[in-house]
Amino acid sequence: MKPLQAALQGSREVGFTVLSMSLSLVAVFLPLLLMGGLPRPPAARVRRHPVGGDRHLAGGLPHPDADNVRLAAEKRQVPPADAQPRLWPPAGGRAGGYGKSLKWVLKHSRLTGLVVLGTIALSVWLYISIPKTFFPEQDTGVLMGDIQADQSISFQAMRGKLQDFMKIIREDPAVDNVTGFTGGSRVNSGMMFITLKPRDQRHETAQQVIDRLRKKLANEPGANLFLMAVQDIRVGGRQSNASYQYTLLSDDLSALREWEPKIRKALAALPELADVNSDQQDNGAEMDLVYDRDTMSRLGISVQDANNLLNNAFGQRQISTIYQPLNQYKVVMEVDPAYTQDVSALDKMFVINSDGKPIPLPYFAKWQPANAPLSVNHQGLSAASTISFNLPTGPLAVGSQRGH
């Protein structure tokens, strides 16, 4: 078999394999090549290897055909120079230029070595100096905000804080819509979702909008709103009020409550960080009722009677269910919400004793303010406190991302 025919036959046998592998590699590495940030430089180096590998595969032949080519090449005589096929003129010019440059490089080997070392040093310097991050920050057009108010705040006051924050955000020219809610397990917290205008209708990025709103939102007394841009990939395994977080673990809850404020204040003093906050809520307000059991026994009142009174008044005790075709509604018993805002309502409460007589609650009980944790977070079997923070824009953010 002639060498050309052997090469063509071998190429036909591996052509489909080479094409399918090339398309598969393009599909795998294309997202990395288009991605900014830290993952891109390694991908930019990897992308050259499949091309080189394809070039070698395209020249590979099955073993029988390769043997024929080798035997034919040994028997073949080199034709005269004028009988050799001439290269296409542009290709011939490039080949000649390559030959001249190769001779020059081989002639000046020391200078070439210095250039190689300088190129390596320049690459290292550029890799160190360019801005880097773990994942590139996206501008999805959606911001998420977490409100953190005083731990002793009431639901009514918290609702007012939420409305104030929403009013400030709606006035920003880059904001299209904002929604928020509060309540649930934590009375002093709330969440907001902010939709920005399309990118072609605003001149700022999502992070620049956050920086502008941060200055306006800082004037709200008794509450803080922490904003962050919604990302497709979120770093961290816990829900927090900012983009970056550290979680402190301890088997001793008292030690955790002692050291968490110290670490949080130290991080807040760093200019490279912004919106430093913590999920440790150990200073909530509560009112402790202390029963005088001797007086209760003398008046014919049991502890269960007093607890039932307080539960009926403030515990939203369920007493019935209203069934409708599409839903069910719980019926609860409680005092008027106006009487739940002040401790003076306890002075007006009465307990029916064993003789059927109403006994004022202050006759056998006294109350005193105290502090209590709103929540105790855990990770595994250890108590946990998460300190989260954001990075400011500008030179400080670049320096912090570099690790300086």
- Domain chopping of the chain, boundaries: 1-76, 139-234, 284-372
pLDDT at residue 53 tops 50: no
Q: What is the mean pLDDT of residues 253-265?
A: 92
Q: What is the mean pLDDT of residues 89-111?
A: 78
Which among 228, 216, 195, 208 is positioned nearest to 389, based on CA atoms?
Answer: 228
CATH no. of 139-234: 3.30.70.1430
Which among 141, 143, 148, 142 is positioned nearest to 225, based on CA atoms?
Answer: 148
Q: For residue 377, what pLDDT is reported?
A: 87
CATH no. of 284-372: 3.30.2090.10
Which among 318, 288, 308 is positioned nearest to 349, based on CA atoms?
Answer: 308
For the chain, what is the largest distance between any 2 Cα atoms, rounded to a whole number of angstroms? 131
Q: For 184-195, write each residue's pLDDT tens digit.
A: 767 788 999 999
Q: For residue 89, what pLDDT is reported?
A: 56
More confident residue, 340 or 190: 190
Which residue is it, tokens 């490039």? 94
Contacts for 41 with CB less than 8 Å, ≥ 6 apart? 127
pLDDT at residue 165 tops 90: yes
Q: For residue 225, what pLDDT is reported?
A: 92
Q: For residue 192, what pLDDT is reported?
A: 93
Lowest-confidence range among 7-16, 173-182, 374-383? 7-16
Most confident of 44-48, 136-140, 179-183: 179-183
Instruction: Kindly indicate the confidence band of residue 55, based on its pLDDT and cuts at 50, 70 and 90.
Output: very low
Q: For 194-230, write each residue's pLDDT tens digit.
A: 999 998 899 889 989 999 999 899 888 889 999 988 8
pLDDT at residue 101 tops 50: yes
Q: For residue 86, what pLDDT is reported?
A: 56
Q: For 63-92, write each residue's pLDDT tens digit.
A: 444 444 444 445 555 555 455 455 555 555
Contacts for 385 with CB less than 8 Å, ≥ 6 apart? 247, 248, 256, 260, 278, 279, 280, 377
Contacts for 134 with CB less than 8 Å, ≥ 6 apart? 37, 38, 235
**pTM (two decimals):** 0.57
Q: What is the mean pLDDT of residues 254-273?
A: 92
Q: Tally DSSP H helices, then E strands, for the chain.
A: 12, 14
